[in-house]
Amino acid sequence: MPACGEPSPSRQVMPFAHQRWINGLQSVPDAFGRPALLAWSYDGRVCLWDAQTGANIAAIEHERVVEHAAWIADVNGQSAILSSSAYARHVRLTVLPHCDVVDFNTPGYTSSFMQALWVPELLGRPCVLCWQYRHGVTLWDAASGEELKFRPAMVWGAAWSTELRSVLYWSNRAEQDTAWPERNIALWTPETDECRVYQFPGHIEFPIFDADGRLNRHSGDGAMLVSSGLQAPAVLGWSSNGLVGLWDALTTQAIAPFIRHHAPVLGASWVADTPCGPAILSWSLDGRVMLCPISTGRPFLSASLDGAAKGAAYVAAMEPCILAWSDRGDLQLCSRIENDAASMAQFKHARSIGGATWLSNVSGRPAILSWADDSTVRLARAATGNVICSFGLDERPTALILLPSQQPDAVSFAVGCRSGSIGVFDFVDR
């Protein structure tokens, strides 16, 4: 419930939506003529819920935990849900409204790292693409389930590029397994079987295993394809060796100076338009967050958080800002002012922050929506950090998404919790 004296939001709760924690949520603006929520859970179920009434529209069962799911608006003129369960080594395409099912079984290594991606057209047909840790990338015919292509690799993640008709995948440089020597970023074109590789210089410089020899939960490389603000598509990648790189997607040549952190890089994003031109925003295990123009590779904006930086976002407000958050409850909004010093507003949570979002108009002024493991969702003024409203939850939030709002200055969002419940909130500061 909101803290005493704060504005009260309206709330629609589906308390028994799932039996175990929610792994993810997706807003579906039009599911058979009504707004809906797609939710997937540790209980092995994927459910489509009416966002206004909480009624169940469709339910899909997997044998074990569902790590990923996605709503697909058009599969031969019908809607569908694509879901994957890594522990069950199973991918399922469910075509609605009659729940016609196509199953794809993966014979690879059983782990919690696997995801299926929808490919609207490749090799003359709709396809399902699946990456699986310690197995590789598989391409299936979406209609028949027939395997079309397979590329073995120790994959840590992947993304599909419609523009290049290729799959970008990456391995984890922290994984010390001589059976899989390839620890790079690669772009594979299934139609030609051509594979381009993008390499970081040097070696892993930082300890990425804990005292018991287990892989640090923060470690792991990543990559994405970017093109906005550039003359040609490029690959943006980050690494456990503390480097962030940008390569021409076709030539594999580095097109910007490598950005160096003093700890493993946990994530990065592309910012096409800043006062210094295209830039890369990156964050690392030591709490350092940097926005670096690709022309120099040096920070234009930066922040230092208490704890490991879990995420960051560039805010193109009146004054360009970095919004960044950590695993110790530290949330900062940093900007440059005329004397080149950092202007900073801080928003503290008691525990690790799951995420934060910039809202440009809440009652006429910017605000920040954040959620954390202290079982709170907080809405605060961006300029001062003053709390507008604090939403106390019964359990730790595990997923949060913004929803379309009926009013221009209102805030609507859905929260999934560890208990399996889903709450839909509408807030207006009256």
For residue 1, what pLDDT is reported? 39
pLDDT tens track for 132-158: 887 889 999 999 999 999 998 878 889
| Assigned token pair, 201 | 């210089």
- Contact assessment for residue 383 and residue 365, using Cβ atoms and an 8 Å cutoff: yes
CB 142 within 8 A of CB 75: yes
**Residue range 262-299, pLDDT digits in tens:** 988 999 999 999 999 999 999 999 999 999 999 999 99
Closest CA to 118 of 98, 94, 134, 135: 94
- Strands in 376-381's sheet, in edge-to-edge order, are 353-362, 365-372, 376-381, 387-392
Structure tokens belonging to residue 299: 């920070």
State the pairing for strand pair 259-260/365-372.
Answer: unpaired
CATH code assigned at 164: 2.130.10.10
Find the angle CA(412)-CA(418)-CA(211) to the nearest 5 degrees. 125
Kindly state whether residue 138 falls inside one of the protein's structural domains.
Answer: no
275: in domain: yes
> Residue 50's pLDDT is what?
87
Per-residue confidence (pLDDT) for residue 16, from 0 to 100: 56
Amino acid 190: pLDDT: 95
Structural domain of residue 261, as residue ranges? 154-207+214-298
pLDDT value, residue 391: 83
- Residue among 253, 199, 203, 205 at smallest CA distance from 223: 199
Q: pLDDT > 70: what percent of the chain?
A: 84
pLDDT in tens, 175-219: 444 444 445 799 999 999 999 999 888 655 555 554 454 445 445
Residue 272 domain-assigned? yes
Convert the pLDDT of each residue in 109-121 to its tens digit: 555 568 899 999 9
pTM (2 d.p.): 0.89
- DSSP3 helix / strand / coil % (the chain, rounded to 5): 0, 55, 45
Residue 82 has which token pair? 């694509």
Structure confidence by residue, pLDDT tens digits, 338-378:
334 445 567 789 999 999 999 988 888 899 999 999 999 99
Domains identified in the chain, total number = 1
Please state, in angstroms and rounded to a whole number, the distance separating the CA atoms of residues 304 and 241.
19
Q: Which two tokens stand for residue 162?
A: 């419609």
Predicted pLDDT at 165:
96
Candidate from 20-24, 254-258, 402-406 with smallest mean pLDDT: 402-406
Tens of pLDDT, residue by residue over 38-89, are 999 999 999 998 888 888 899 999 888 899 999 999 998 899 999 998 877 8
Q: Is residue 254 part of a domain?
A: yes
Among 343, 373, 215, residue whose Cα is nearest residue 285: 215
CA distances from 322 to 24, 127, 317, 345 (A): 25, 38, 10, 11
Q: Is residue 46 part of a domain?
A: no
Please give the DSSP secondary-structure letter assigned to residue 319.
Answer: S
Whether residue 426 is contained in a domain is answered as no
| Domain membership flag for residue 376 | no
- Judge whether 282 lies within some domain: yes
